[in-house]
Chains A and B, each alone.
Chain A
């Protein structure tokens, strides 16, 4: 079961599809391709909108060629062209073994083209009517529900999912339907249905396909969270047991139980419930602590279990018990850096910074210990000492001295907003750390910019070639602050000519520059140009609203259509 924990991270292609997010598809494709290349079970890694490999032998050469053309358009998210090619396939090879599949894909193209009614009535339903025995009929039955859901036809979607459960209850497709039913039930605040579906996915659904497994893993986690928030520890732990092996189970139980314990403890009405939940969780963990520490793996597991106890006690807000737990860990396993880091962090979380630093001071890895100390000073807003600590670290750490100097500069720049001190340190870095000069030049220019030293900022931005066109936007902004509008307009013009993706923003900023110059007519023309030339951009929206509110001009010359 343990392998499922990682599977949940795999992007679910179906969800992407339903949510009209083609941008994320390449990631899924790469993952799928990687799985196939690694020799994994091909069938188990198959997406719902992919043709199973065992169906390929049934396709003739000519059909395969046409299908490949259509599939290429589909993978490139060129939905209109893909739909036309699938249609062509159906016209030419009506009796093909994969005709049902092409009909299904044509329907999916219609979904992407936002013709959801067409997809259902002329697409998915046709698959079921003409090829009822094909595996695609099952997928189409599910997609009818999903498409209805995307149309807001919740009643019809539920009915379609019920059909899937009735007709294909044992198939993998039912897992997708169950997941979508959970989505609907959550929106309708129907806890009963959510529980039913979570339990179905957690305890009854086989996890052979990695996508289905991912759905089941999510369901088991949600079920556990639900039980924990109800104060039912045992059932929550049982739900997680279906997903995690013995070594991972304890930290996962702690992860999912800590939140509900903290929430329940925060309210005086439910504080007693939190106490009981924490007690049961701690007892459950303690039952599983390995006593035999001969094997290093067992020792690690025992230590992890003790960390879990400390975390649970911390979630319940029991300070003495947390201290006792860490003392127990140190006495049993010795003061490892990991234990000290956890202990120090806990002290920080309750505001005891001095105690936390004394704990960090006992680190075996001196550099890491001092790093934590410097961080704690910074979090405490004790910037002088934080910078001193980072400076000391840079002298001590021969491998990465500039990293710590950079941290010192960042402390002045971002935390203390002390720009002169930050400038001094960044200048030092520019001179000394040639390898990362672009990073330090950018940071220096940015600091000058925020400090209001625009001329110096421009000088340094000019040297940061790596960040074009952002450098030009920044330089133009500095020129505008210096009232050097001509320079700013030249820079924006350069961006418009050379960086098409940044052109709408540059055009909008040009208009604002004219406005600052009090050249109203030019400003109006420039704002109108944004609307006219980039009508689909967010900048067009800004320009349109600005023209109306500031200049009372209604003729903004924009307008477009979304096809």
Chain B
């Protein structure tokens, strides 16, 4: 490719690039929507294709920018394609390393870059055409069929198009181009992010188990020392141990006397799950605040890992985020049983998002785990949001002896990092099920690597409570699936 290749080599390189382009698109679609490339092989394929895409596009760019082939248009086209590939790669890498916050920022920046690049190309395309037409008109004013009197010009690239009026035609064309492009971009963006892929599925890990509290036992082992019978009148002095001297061995054993799960299957999991299913931790993205607080590695991923270790259930490799509107993409029996929402600022939720959330909680049998990340304001915002989502359900303090505080771990108190929204966990209950559990005291901070410096007893209880909430939601979902499948 480099230097002066002959035509056949160039054709081969072009075909190879085309094939890579198709592969790249397929991998991108999978990464974005289908999620079929899982496991080691899947990861290797994704990484290989995306990395190859970056390398090849950079090589092509370098080749086209060599002085002997300098063509400004083609160079710009390669640079644009290269920018798109690089943007996608940066988001992919951030996502792969679980850097949720960075991923979201890069995704936004990439969208902006793609928008600006597209706009530049559209302007170039329209202007080039308009310039050519104007030049053509100047050269052969009588031969231009388009300019025949009584015939309307419809082509928007032509400034003489009838709908641009008679004054300020160029300005009108520019405004129309900008608006038309922006609307088209918005439409495509919405199609790709909202409707694109249409369906996403959540599958619980297959298996079974019992919804019971983990038994904790303390064994006390009494070690009786050898006893000596001594003649008190002996002339020999003995260094005698006390007769009651016994050793107590305190040995705390936490044993899983049962499988943590729900249903009849083998291994820890849930009835209605699949062999490929995993427990995933999905947080909701919303406008107005810092939805990505304590997101990803070293933060909520710790909770997911702890859940896997404690319950022996299969869990996802990283935590994820979705827009509220994306919850609509999940079908009723393949929806996430639990979504998490945190922050410390405002929560801006549209009426459509409220509707999606309501449908998710009530019709798809989902559950929302709210966590106050740092202010009374967030507490008020969350409660107000829930009032919109479930107007006829009042929040109540969650009893400390509720199953959500007892299974699999007994947590007979509410552990918190800071009492931002009081010291009572609130719950919204519909038909005997908690559809929302709100923790007022930043439980997410206790899950981080440094546990916010809280005592061990507190962060351990926070992990236990997190485990309970995740487990509760999955059990309830599993019960619902079973009942739906039994129903005629």
Known: A114-B399, A117-B399, A155-B432. A556 touches B419 (CB 8 A): no
Q: Say yes or no: A562 contacts B423, CB within 8 Å.
A: yes
Q: Say yes or no: B399 contacts A559, CB within 8 Å.
A: no
Q: Mark A543-557, 1 if CB is under 8 A from B, else 0.
A: 111001100001111
Chain A residue numbers with a CB within 8 Å of B442 are: 544
Q: Mark B420-448, 1 if CB is under 8 A from A, else 0.
A: 10011001110110000000001001101
Q: Say yes or no: A152 contacts B427, CB within 8 Å.
A: yes
Q: Mark B346-377, 1 if CB is under 8 A from A, else 0.
A: 00000000000000000000000000001110
The distance in angstroms between the C-alpha atoms of A548 and B444, with both chains bound, is: 13
Q: Mark B273-305, 1 if CB is under 8 A from A, else 0.
A: 000000000000000000000000000000000
> B232 on the interface (CB 8 Å rule)?
no
> A560 on the interface (CB 8 Å rule)?
yes
> A334 on the interface (CB 8 Å rule)?
no
Q: Say yes or no: A562 contacts B414, CB within 8 Å.
A: yes
Q: Say yes or no: A561 contacts B413, CB within 8 Å.
A: yes
The distance in angstroms between the C-alpha atoms of A220 and B431, with both chains bound, is: 32
The distance in angstroms between the C-alpha atoms of A305 and B159, with both chains bound, is: 80
Q: How far is the CB of A545 from chain B (nearest CB, A)?
A: 4
Q: How far is the CB of B275 from chain A (nearest CB, A)?
A: 36
Quick one: which of A188-220 are within 8 Å of B by CB?
A: 188-189
Q: How far is the CB of A540 from chain B (nearest CB, A)?
A: 5
| Contact for A153 among B413, B415, B419, B429, CB less than 8 A | B429
Chain B residue numbers with a CB within 8 Å of A531 are: 418
* Chain B residue nearest in CB terms to A528: B453
Known: A187-B394, A559-B454. A114 touches B416 (CB 8 A): no
Q: Say yes or no: B374 contacts A548, CB within 8 Å.
A: yes
New contact pairs (4) apart from A151-B402, A538-B376, A559-B459, CB-CB < 8 Å: A187-B392, A545-B375, A556-B452, A561-B413
Q: Which 10 A-B pairs have the closest CB atoms?
A: A559-B454, A152-B429, A545-B374, A544-B418, A555-B453, A562-B423, A559-B458, A557-B453, A116-B399, A152-B396
Q: Say yes or no: A155 contacts B454, CB within 8 Å.
A: no
Q: Say yes or no: B400 contacts A561, CB within 8 Å.
A: no
Q: Say yes or no: A554 contacts B450, CB within 8 Å.
A: yes
Q: Say yes or no: B418 contacts A114, CB within 8 Å.
A: no
Chain A residue numbers with a CB within 8 Å of B375 are: 541, 545
The distance in angstroms between the C-alpha atoms of A113 and B414, with both chains bound, is: 12
> B260 on the interface (CB 8 Å rule)?
no
Q: How far is the CB of A522 from chain B (nearest CB, A)?
A: 18
A-B contact pairs, 16 of them (CB 8 A): A153-B429, A155-B432, A531-B418, A538-B376, A541-B418, A548-B374, A549-B344, A554-B452, A556-B417, A556-B418, A558-B452, A558-B453, A559-B415, A560-B458, A561-B415, A563-B412
| Chain B interfacial positions (CB closer than 8 Å to A) | 344, 374-376, 392-397, 399-402, 412-420, 423-424, 427-429, 431-432, 442, 445-446, 448, 450, 452-455, 457-459, 461
* Chain A residue nearest in CB terms to B419: A541
Q: Say yes or no: B400 contacts A115, CB within 8 Å.
A: yes
Max chain B C-beta neighbours (<10 A), residue from A113, A118, A153, A541: A541
The distance in angstroms between the C-alpha atoms of A114 and B412, with both chains bound, is: 10
> A535 on the interface (CB 8 Å rule)?
yes
Known: A155-B431, A188-B392, A549-B344. A558 touches B401 (CB 8 A): no
The distance in angstroms between the C-alpha atoms of A167 and B174, with both chains bound, is: 79
Chain B residue numbers with a CB within 8 Å of A153 are: 429, 432
The distance in angstroms between the C-alpha atoms of A554 and B461, with both chains bound, is: 19
| Contact for B392 among A189, A540, A544, A555, CB less than 8 A | A189
> A88 on the interface (CB 8 Å rule)?
no
Q: How far is the CB of A149 from chain B (nearest CB, A)?
A: 8
| Contact for A549 among B374, B395, B400, B419, CB less than 8 A | B374
The distance in angstroms between the C-alpha atoms of A361 and B375, with both chains bound, is: 53
Known: A114-B399, A117-B402. A562 touches B412 (CB 8 A): no
Known: A114-B397, A115-B401, A541-B376. A535 touches B418 (CB 8 A): yes
Q: How many residues of A contact B (CB 8 A)?
A: 40
The distance in angstroms between the C-alpha atoms of A188 and B391, with both chains bound, is: 8
> A536 on the interface (CB 8 Å rule)?
yes
* Chain A residue nearest in CB terms to B402: A117
The distance in angstroms between the C-alpha atoms of A117 and B399, with both chains bound, is: 7
Chain A residue numbers with a CB within 8 Å of B458 are: 559-561
The distance in angstroms between the C-alpha atoms of A548 and B372, with both chains bound, is: 14
> A87 on the interface (CB 8 Å rule)?
no
The distance in angstroms between the C-alpha atoms of A150 and B402, with both chains bound, is: 12
Chain A residue numbers with a CB within 8 Å of B419 are: 535-538, 540-541, 560
The distance in angstroms between the C-alpha atoms of A563 and B414, with both chains bound, is: 7
Max chain B C-beta neighbours (<10 A), residue from A117, A189, A528, A558: A558
Q: How far is the CB of A472 from chain B (nearest CB, A)?
A: 26
Q: How far is the CB of A348 from chain B (nearest CB, A)?
A: 36
* Chain A residue nearest in CB terms to B442: A544
Chain B residue numbers with a CB within 8 Å of A549 are: 344, 374
Q: How far is the CB of A561 from chain B (nearest CB, A)?
A: 4
Q: Say yes or no: A152 contacts B428, CB within 8 Å.
A: yes
| Contact for A545 among B344, B393, B427, B450, CB less than 8 A | B344
Chain B residue numbers with a CB within 8 Å of A115 are: 399-401
* Chain A residue nearest in CB terms to B428: A152
Max chain B C-beta neighbours (<10 A), residue from A531, A536, A545, A559: A559
Q: How far is the CB of A536 from chain B (nearest CB, A)?
A: 6
* Chain B residue nearest in CB terms to A559: B454
Chain A residue numbers with a CB within 8 Å of B396 are: 150-152
Q: Say yes or no: B413 contacts A554, CB within 8 Å.
A: no
* Chain B residue nearest in CB terms to A184: B394
Chain B residue numbers with a CB within 8 Å of A562 are: 413-414, 416, 423-424
Q: Say yes or no: B420 contacts A545, CB within 8 Å.
A: yes
Chain A residue numbers with a CB within 8 Å of B423 are: 536, 562
Chain A residue numbers with a CB within 8 Å of B401 are: 114-118
Q: Mark A85-118, 1 if CB is under 8 A from B, else 0.
A: 0000000000000000000000000000111111
| Contact for B416 among A152, A555, A559, CB less than 8 A | A559
Max chain A C-beta neighbours (<10 A), residue from B399, B415, B416: B399
Q: How far is the CB of B89 from chain A (nearest CB, A)?
A: 28
Chain A residue numbers with a CB within 8 Å of B432 are: 153, 155-156
| Contact for A556 among B416, B427, B431, B453, CB less than 8 A | B453
Chain A residue numbers with a CB within 8 Å of B420 are: 541, 544-545
Q: Say yes or no: B455 contacts A555, CB within 8 Å.
A: no
Q: How far is the CB of B417 from chain A (nearest CB, A)?
A: 5
* Chain B residue nearest in CB terms to A190: B392
Q: How far is the CB of A546 from chain B (nearest CB, A)?
A: 9
Q: Mark A13-43, 1 if CB is under 8 A from B, else 0.
A: 0000000100000000000000000000000
Q: How far is the CB of B387 from chain A (nearest CB, A)?
A: 11
Q: Say yes or no: A152 contacts B453, CB within 8 Å.
A: no
Q: How far is the CB of A537 from chain B (nearest CB, A)?
A: 8
Chain A residue numbers with a CB within 8 Å of B453 are: 528, 554-559
Chain A residue numbers with a CB within 8 Å of B394 are: 152, 187
Q: Mark A368-409, 1 if CB is under 8 A from B, else 0.
A: 000000000000000000000000000000000000000000
Q: How far is the CB of B462 from chain A (nearest CB, A)?
A: 9
The distance in angstroms between the C-alpha atoms of A73 and B429, with both chains bound, is: 33
* Chain A residue nearest in CB terms to B445: A554
Q: How far is the CB of A262 from chain B (nearest CB, A)?
A: 26
Chain B residue numbers with a CB within 8 Å of A557 are: 452-454
Chain B residue numbers with a CB within 8 Å of A114 are: 397, 399-401
The distance in angstroms between the C-alpha atoms of A114 and B425, with both chains bound, is: 11
Q: How far is the CB of B297 from chain A (nearest CB, A)?
A: 14
Q: How far is the CB of B29 from chain A (nearest CB, A)?
A: 37
Chain A residue numbers with a CB within 8 Å of B459 are: 559
Q: Say yes or no: A560 contacts B399, CB within 8 Å.
A: no
Quick one: which of A297-314 are within 8 Å of B by CB?
A: none
Chain B residue numbers with a CB within 8 Å of A544 are: 374, 417-418, 420, 442, 445, 452
The distance in angstroms between the C-alpha atoms of A20 and B399, with both chains bound, is: 12
Known: A115-B401, A541-B420, A549-B374. A559 touches B393 (CB 8 A): no
* Chain B residue nearest in CB terms to A118: B401
Q: Say yes or no: B393 contacts A152, CB within 8 Å.
A: yes
